[in-house]
Structures are given as C-alpha cells and as structure tokens.
A and B are shown apart, each in its own frame.
Chain A
Amino acid sequence: MKTIGLISANYGSTEFGALLQNRTLASLPYGGRYRLIDFALSNMANAGITTVGVIAPVNSGSLIDHVGVGNPWNLGRKSGGLFLMPGSVYGMQRSGSRFLMRDLLKCDKLFTKDDADYVIMSGSSDVWNIDFEPLIKAHAESGKPITMVYKKVARGEEFQGYFLDINEYGNVTGINMESYGWSNYFADCFIIDRKYMIEFMNWYSALEYMDMIEIIRDNLGTVEIGTFEFRGYLGKIKNPWEFLKVNQAMTDYDIRNEVFCNPERPVFTKIQDEAPAFHFPEADVRNSVISAGCRIEGRVENSIIFRSCHVAKGAVVRNSVIMMHGIIGEGAVLDNVIADKYVTINPGVKIYGGEKDPVIIGKDGRI
C-alpha cells in the first residue's frame, strides 16, 4: 500500500496583516521553534511517506528557506524525496481553496511517474499530529476512491471551512460552508487512489479554475466518498487571535503530550543549534514555553517565546507570542501582543492588546 503525499501551501489569509506580509501561512513561525508546515510534513514522515510534493505559492522564499531539501522529514533522498512545485498566482487570492486543479495539473508528473497506490493530500496550516497509518488502512479496506478526514466539533459556527454531511454508511452526502452546533469539520486532508486522481485530472483539465473540494462535491452522487474521524487536537489558525490561542495551547498538558511530546510521532523542524536557554536569578516564568538561546531576566506568563529572545530585568510578557530574536527592554510590559522576528521593545514601553484583538508588531519593528 504505497502512499505518497501532496501538501498545498498555495493559500493564504488576509487577516494577519504584517505577519503574512512577506511570508506564506505555511511558513508562519509557530510554537517557539516551528513553522506551520512542519505539522503536515511531520505527519507524512511519521507514516513512513518518503515522496512528498509541496505546492509552493508565489511568495515562497521563507517556505523554501525553511523546508530546504527536506532533510528533517527524511525527504532528502535518492529515491523519492521532496518535490517543491511552484503553484499558480491564483492560490493566494482564494483563501478557501487548497488544491486548485491548475496547480495539480502543473505537478501531474508526481502522480503519473510514481507507482504509489494512494496519495494523501493535506493543507499546511493546521497544528495537529495525526497517525496516517490507520487512515491508509481504513481507506484501503473500504475500496472507496476517496476518504476524507474530519473532526467532530461542538460549535460549528466558530469554525470556518467545509462541513461534511455523513450518512449511516460513513459516506459523504453533502459538503457545506455553514454549520451550527455539532458538525463534522473537514480537516483539509483526504486520501485518494492515485489512479483516480489521474482520471480526475483528465476530466477536469479544461476546468482548471476549480478546487478539488468543488470537484469532489460535483461527484458526490456518482462516486462513493468515505470518511475517517480524527479525534485528536486540531489547531486551526485563520486570524491573529486564533494564532495566539493555538500557540497557548502548547501550555495545555494534554495537547503538549499529544501533539509535541509523542515519542512515536515527533514533530520535526529545521534545526538551528542554539545554546540552552538561561534563566537569570531574577527570572520568573510561569505556564510558558521558552526556546533555546533565550535569556530570561524578567517575568513571562502564559506566553510563547521563540529562540534567542532576551527578556530584560523587570520586563513582563503576558499572554503573548514573541518570535525569534526579540528583545524586550527593561521594565517593558507586553500583554496580548504578537511580535514578529527581530522586534525590539524599548525599556519601559507598555503595550496592551485586547484578548480577542492582539496587537501585532511587524518584523524588525522598534517601539
């Protein structure tokens, strides 16, 4: 049951302002040392998938820099490996789309040259740690050409995306954009028979503006679409508030153990070789995540501090995310703030964001 992977990074969001000015959602720094695409890549690596395509958007400099030739995910190989494929310029204009047919047609060699049975297709902006092996097994046993992954959510109205209507045979009968109460939230991930994918590409080559989800919906009456429930943590990031919230999820005992400290399925990322973090005698860190290379002299609460940051004496960082190389000056106070890379906060400066409306400080910002 050979399986290959295809990850789409060719989509964005207009709600992040400065954070996505020069990078893709897939390469947004997350959780102290990661980029969002690490989760999709690690899920593939942990299932033993050794051929993975990544559809890269137009502004993919930071993504290419991070992913490189894919060594951290065992993808720097002679046989198979990582295939970075340039996506179309339309990707970034359609935040709901993941797999545009025009992007898939451009990387058709991935499907036609490989002899894999299945292709797992995944988005690149969710924080989750899924075991793909049961998915592959369930899909193979079902005999259905496509199996979609979903998560039951209690309050569908708080999610944006697609929701699945599922019948008693576990088949998808409808795909909707709106939902209330308990719903089956589509996890931007499905597995498809490779040969079926090639057929889809032949049928829809003239309709290349369509997205795979639209194509699947078009075929619901004629093709049996199976489902697979994911019961773990699924961190969706569509705006700065959710970004802050999903970062802080790392301080949750269960989520930390499930997603980040799972010895069977580690989350891999590019290695930076920083020295250990030093907590000075005056440091006071509570319920927070601190990365290598940090120097902490002040107070940190409910926050995520990326590598090589300095929190000076008397500074307070609360409910915030400080990306790499941030410098928080003496006596500065940050509350509900997202600071991009290389931000400097001068001594004594106080910044208070709203709980659902964090203040964003762009890269290299000095305040």
Chain B
Amino acid sequence: MKKKKMLAMLLAGGQGSRLYDLTTNIAKPAVSFGGKYRIIDFGLSNCVNSGIDTVGILVQYKPLVLTRYVGTGESWDMDVADGGVHILPPYASATGGEWYEGTADAIYHNIDFIDMYEPENVLILSGDHIYKMNYNLMLQEHEAKGSDLTVSVIEVPWEEASRFGIMTADDEGNIVKFTEKPAEPDSNLASMGIYIFKWDVLRKALLEDHGNADSSHDFGKDLIPKLLGEGKKLTVYRFSGYWRDVGTVQSYYDSQMDLMDNVENINVFSGDMKVFSNSNMYPPQYLGREANIKNSLLCNGCTVYGSVNHSILGSGAVVGYGTVIEDSIVLPNAIIGRNCRINKAIINEGAVVDDNTVVGEPDGEVVVYGKAKLSI
C-alpha cells in the first residue's frame, strides 16, 4: 500500500457540556449547524478538499448519531479503498479496558492504527469550530520549515485573547511560548486546536507522556509544553478566513445568526472547497399561501405555513399556521405547531412544540427548547 503523506485524527469524543441540552444525546461534533450541516462536516470536508483521504475519528461520548452520520464516509468521498474514515472508540485489551483520558491519550491508544498507514505526518483536528481551511497549505509550510509541530493560529482581538490558548512566536514563526488562557496576553495568536506533527516525533512524545503519572495527557496542557521544553522546532501557521467557535450556546447561536447578517458567510459553504454533508432525502422546501419568510435560511424538507424572520429552519422542520418565529434556530425535523411565538430560541432536533406555545423573549437570553429525538 502506498504510504500516506499525512493522515488526520479527528477528536470527536468530547461531550461539549457548555452546549447543555444540545448535547444531551448527541456528541458535539454531530450537533446540527446552519440548518443542514453537522459540526463534523467542516473538518471532514476540509480533509477531502485538502486531498486527505484517511481520517481516524475518535469517539467516546454518545457516539450513536455521530457514527451513523459518518457511515462509510461516502458523503465526503471518503469511501476509498486504501484509506477512508475509521471510527475509533475506546477498546479493551489483554490488560483490561480504558477510556480515553485526554486528547493526547486518545491518540496514544491508536498508535497501532496510525502505524498501519506509516504516515510522515499526522494532522490532529478538534470538532469545535466552523471553518474552511486547506490543510495542504499548512502542510507545505510545515515541510518547508522542517517543523516537528506546526500549530494553526488565528489572530483574535487583544481584549478576547485571554479566552484562548495563546501562542507567542518570534519573527520567523517559531513558537517561543504557549500559555493557556493568559491573564495578561503578550500575543493575540490563538491556537485553533489544529496541529500537524511529524509522526515519529509525536509517537515518541506520546509514549513518554503516557508513562508520566503527572500528565493530564492533553495536547495543549502537556504535549506542546513538553516538546517546547525539549527544544523541538514548533512553528505557527497563520490562518485567516471564516472561522467560528461554537463551544457555548451563545457562540453557537451568534455564529449562525451571522450567516444571515452577512450573506457572504453562507457562500462559504458552497463554491470551491464545498462543504459536504450526509443529507437525508428531503424534497425541496414548501412555503404555503400565507407563509411570510424574511431574511432567513431554509433547508430542504421544510414546510412553512407561518411567519419566519431572521431565523434558520433546519432540514425537515415544519412551522404551522399563525406561528411567528424570530431570531431563532430550528434544528432539523422539529415540528412547531400553530399559533406559537418563538423568539431567540434554539428548538432542538426533532422536538415537538405544541400549538399556542411561547418560547423565549425578544430581549431575553438564548433558550434551548426540547430534547433531541434520535432518529435516522
């Protein structure tokens, strides 16, 4: 088999507890975004659009929807003979079974998997962000600089820098310091949680880290400081472009609202480097005689008889007569009855909203309504 220049490992095991009811039943990477996508679509599409055809997906928390959604990877053209997507859950061995104890630990437990492909480099991705990126450009820079580790960074406003993992780099892009959520940041380059490692360097570091009882086995907290301390060549790759954090209910909500406030943002998902998704088969949307849709994004399978303003309706969502929806996100297959008032709310996937229900207030906090119903 041809050796891989680079394979990707996508960390998809986290709970995403700050998304509260959105992740009660669904792992964060499988949470709906933009009406028809799930968060993992962006990472997988970036991979295939960057020419990466082998991806390991590390799952742990509530993997049902996620694993079914990924399937064979066909939706992302990842059903290839000498690669493809591989779902990698924790497993038992002769010495017993272990959960993934941290991001680095999850990769440690799959060293054998990566070795099968004998890659030169390993790309580590996290399923927290909505962005479009050509990892190949990052790889080119990684190789040109001869780096052991390249960390993708994005400039954030100085006043927000203390919320991020901050990389401090010299003029040549060499990382000199890494600080997690610094109180007084000396750089505004935030780590995007996207790493390219030389596989031999990462492999050795993972084995050593595993034997270190004091380590929390986390890339940011343990691996990067360790390599930095060993004098390895760590460099930044500066990314600019569409990039949104969806780690909290508020950021999840805001990042979708700005799809409508700046219509260029939705074009990000089409055009070249298209974002692919595993869509169910829905007919095109139908808007009734009294429907009134303004400034909104609607997906296939929607049926709307009421009014929708400045909102997103996910695939297969239904809005009954007399209902008014404003500044809200209706996730796929939610059924909203007649004469409801929905304001600043996220209606969970497949949730049913009875007739005459009032959800949220125009000036209130963002509300997550209903429990996600799992269905295929």
User: Size band of the B side of the interface?
Assistant: 35 or more
| Residue from A277, A283, A290 in contact with B294 in the complex, judged by beta carbons closer than 8 Å | A283
In the complex, whether B270 has a CB less than 8 A from a CB of chain A is yes
Residues of A within 8 A of B266 (CB): 275-276, 278
Q: B285–A271 contact, CB under 8 A?
A: no
Also in contact, A278 and B297, with CB within 8 A (given A71-B74, A286-B291): yes
Residues of A within 8 A of B43 (CB): none
The complex places the Cα of A279 from the Cα of B35 at a distance, in Å, of 14
In the complex, whether A260 has a CB less than 8 A from a CB of chain B is yes
In the complex, whether B296 has a CB less than 8 A from a CB of chain A is yes
Q: B281–A268 contact, CB under 8 A?
A: yes
Q: B284–A32 contact, CB under 8 A?
A: yes
| Residue from B286, B287, B299 in contact with A276 in the complex, judged by beta carbons closer than 8 Å | B299
**A-side interface residues, number (CB < 8 Å):** 42
Interface-facing stretch out of B51-59, B134-142, B271-279: B271-279
In the complex, whether B17 has a CB less than 8 A from a CB of chain A is no
Also in contact, A283 and B293, with CB within 8 A (given A273-B277, A290-B298, A293-B270): yes
> From residue A246, how far is it (CB to closest CB) to chain B in Å?
14
Tell me which residues from 290 to 320 in chain A have a Cβ below 8 Å from any Cβ of chain B.
Answer: 290-293, 295, 304-308
Tell me which residues from 35 to 79 in chain A have a Cβ below 8 Å from any Cβ of chain B.
Answer: 71-72
> From residue A69, how far is it (CB to closest CB) to chain B in Å?
12
Residues of B within 8 A of A266 (CB): 280-281
Q: A290–B283 contact, CB under 8 A?
A: no
Residues of A within 8 A of B276 (CB): 273
In the complex, whether B38 has a CB less than 8 A from a CB of chain A is no
Q: A267–B281 contact, CB under 8 A?
A: yes
| Closest Cβ neighbor of B315 among chain A residues | A276
The complex places the Cα of A285 from the Cα of B287 at a distance, in Å, of 7
> From residue A176, how far is it (CB to closest CB) to chain B in Å?
36
| Closest Cβ neighbor of B279 among chain A residues | A271
The complex places the Cα of A280 from the Cα of B289 at a distance, in Å, of 18
Q: B312–A276 contact, CB under 8 A?
A: yes
> From residue B193, how far is it (CB to closest CB) to chain A in Å?
25
| Residue from B267, B280, B299 in contact with A292 in the complex, judged by beta carbons closer than 8 Å | B299
In the complex, whether B300 has a CB less than 8 A from a CB of chain A is yes
Q: B286–A279 contact, CB under 8 A?
A: no
Q: B263–A278 contact, CB under 8 A?
A: yes
The complex places the Cα of A289 from the Cα of B287 at a distance, in Å, of 7
In the complex, whether A274 has a CB less than 8 A from a CB of chain B is yes
In the complex, whether A31 has a CB less than 8 A from a CB of chain B is yes
Q: B285–A277 contact, CB under 8 A?
A: yes
Tell me which residues from 10 to 56 in chain B have a Cβ below 8 Å from any Cβ of chain A.
Answer: 34-36
Choose among A269, A278, A304 the residue with the greatest number of B CB atoms under 10 Å from its CB.
A278
| Residue from A260, A274, A276 in contact with B283 in the complex, judged by beta carbons closer than 8 Å | A260
Residues of B within 8 A of A286 (CB): 287-291
> From residue B52, how far is it (CB to closest CB) to chain A in Å?
18
In the complex, whether A288 has a CB less than 8 A from a CB of chain B is yes
The complex places the Cα of A280 from the Cα of B285 at a distance, in Å, of 16
The complex places the Cα of A285 from the Cα of B295 at a distance, in Å, of 12
The complex places the Cα of A136 from the Cα of B269 at a distance, in Å, of 44
The complex places the Cα of A251 from the Cα of B303 at a distance, in Å, of 10
Residues of A within 8 A of B301 (CB): 261
Residues of A within 8 A of B285 (CB): 277, 289-291
Also in contact, A276 and B284, with CB within 8 A (given A281-B294, A281-B295): no
Residues of B within 8 A of A135 (CB): none
Residues of B within 8 A of A95 (CB): none
Choose among B263, B280, B283 the residue with the greatest number of A CB atoms under 10 Å from its CB.
B283
| Residue from B74, B284, B288, B312 in contact with A287 in the complex, judged by beta carbons closer than 8 Å | B288
The complex places the Cα of A293 from the Cα of B298 at a distance, in Å, of 10
In the complex, whether A250 has a CB less than 8 A from a CB of chain B is yes
In the complex, whether A33 has a CB less than 8 A from a CB of chain B is yes
| Closest Cβ neighbor of B266 among chain A residues | A275
The complex places the Cα of A260 from the Cα of B275 at a distance, in Å, of 26
Also in contact, A291 and B286, with CB within 8 A (given A278-B263, A279-B293, A285-B293): no
Residues of A within 8 A of B312 (CB): 276
Residues of B within 8 A of A269 (CB): 281
In the complex, whether A2 has a CB less than 8 A from a CB of chain B is no
In the complex, whether A256 has a CB less than 8 A from a CB of chain B is yes
Residues of A within 8 A of B303 (CB): 256, 261
The complex places the Cα of A190 from the Cα of B241 at a distance, in Å, of 57
| Closest Cβ neighbor of A281 among chain B residues | B295
> From residue A208, how far is it (CB to closest CB) to chain B in Å?
38
Residues of B within 8 A of A290 (CB): 284-285, 287, 298
Q: A291–B284 contact, CB under 8 A?
A: yes
Q: A31–B297 contact, CB under 8 A?
A: no
Q: B287–A288 contact, CB under 8 A?
A: yes
The complex places the Cα of A305 from the Cα of B75 at a distance, in Å, of 25
The complex places the Cα of A341 from the Cα of B241 at a distance, in Å, of 32
| Closest Cβ neighbor of A288 among chain B residues | B287
Tell me which residues from 63 to 118 in chain B have a Cβ below 8 Å from any Cβ of chain A.
Answer: 74-75
Choose among B279, B298, B301 the residue with the greatest number of A CB atoms under 10 Å from its CB.
B298
Also in contact, A292 and B284, with CB within 8 A (given A276-B297, A280-B295, A281-B295): yes
The complex places the Cα of A363 from the Cα of B291 at a distance, in Å, of 31
Residues of A within 8 A of B75 (CB): 271
Also in contact, A276 and B35, with CB within 8 A (given A32-B283, A287-B288, A290-B298): yes
> From residue A357, how far is it (CB to closest CB) to chain B in Å?
25
> From residue B257, how far is it (CB to closest CB) to chain A in Å?
13
Q: A279–B277 contact, CB under 8 A?
A: no
Residues of A within 8 A of B281 (CB): 72, 266-269
> From residue A272, how far is it (CB to closest CB) to chain B in Å?
9
Residues of A within 8 A of B275 (CB): 273, 275
| Closest Cβ neighbor of B313 among chain A residues | A276
Instruction: Known pairs A71-B74, A287-B288, A292-B299; list 20 more (Cβ under 8 Å).
Output: A256-B286, A261-B303, A266-B280, A267-B283, A275-B34, A275-B36, A276-B34, A276-B298, A277-B298, A277-B299, A279-B298, A281-B294, A281-B295, A285-B287, A286-B288, A286-B290, A289-B286, A291-B300, A292-B300, A304-B284
Can you give 15 A-B contacts (C-beta < 8 A)?
A: A31-B284, A256-B286, A266-B280, A271-B279, A273-B277, A273-B279, A275-B267, A275-B270, A278-B260, A279-B294, A279-B296, A280-B263, A291-B300, A292-B284, A304-B284
Q: Which 3 A-B pairs have the closest CB atoms?
A: A32-B284, A260-B283, A291-B284
